Amino acid sequence: MTDTELNTELKNKLRKSGTATVGIVCKDAIVLAADKRASLGETYFIADSRAMKLFKLTDNIAVTFAGLVSDMQLLIKIVRAELKLKSVRTKGSPTVKEAANLFGSIVYQNIRKFSPIPGITHFIMGGRDHEGLHLYEICVDGTIDEYKSFLTSGAYGSIMGYGILENEWKEGMTVEEGKKLALKVLATAVKRDASVGEPFNMVIIDEKGVGEIAEIKGSEISKK
């Protein structure tokens, strides 16, 4: 087997998230949501219809991801451990910016390691600290940006999501309006992107911190 054939076989066996994820800034909260479909390699074979793409990092910070599942799992384990260690050393909670910078540094190093399989990952981070609510994007190359409105990530679904968000997001949205908008973005992505699928996960981050991660099924979306 040649190196090219081996690389092709490996890529087809890699679990990718496909993905449509979204983060929305509301008046008093951040809404994060993600679909739950994972596919194998470039085949779009559905490897898992219950994949988690939305994770709680600390009591005040949560993150969504798109990209290679193996890299995502490792990065989240490392960041969780580092944030926990920092809180123990400083006897205080890490700020959202500190968490985003940590993520960005690790992603930067990960993508630049020599490997036949690039570690492609993209994260949306939402959180609350003493300065208020924050929404960050950690790009595949480790770039970090903060947004005051909305973000979406993934494959083709994110492209359609931006069209909806540009038209319907407004400053000072209520949490309920933000939840409905996030679900609309994901429901639209499902219709046009085969790598995106129901059910969805959603979490609200407000003055109390990160809430429970809820699962929302298709039958429930039509009622919202």
Positions marked active-site = 19
**Rounded CA separation 41/13 (Å):** 5
- How do beta strands 209-210 and 214-216 pair? unpaired
Cα dist from 183 to 24, 53, 55, 198, 204, whole Å? 11, 15, 18, 11, 13
Cβ neighbours, 10 Å, residue 97 = 16
At residue 147, what are phi and psi to the nearest 5 degrees? -125, 145
**Rounded CA separation 46/66 (Å):** 15
| Residue pair 134/127 in contact by the 8 Å Cβ criterion | yes
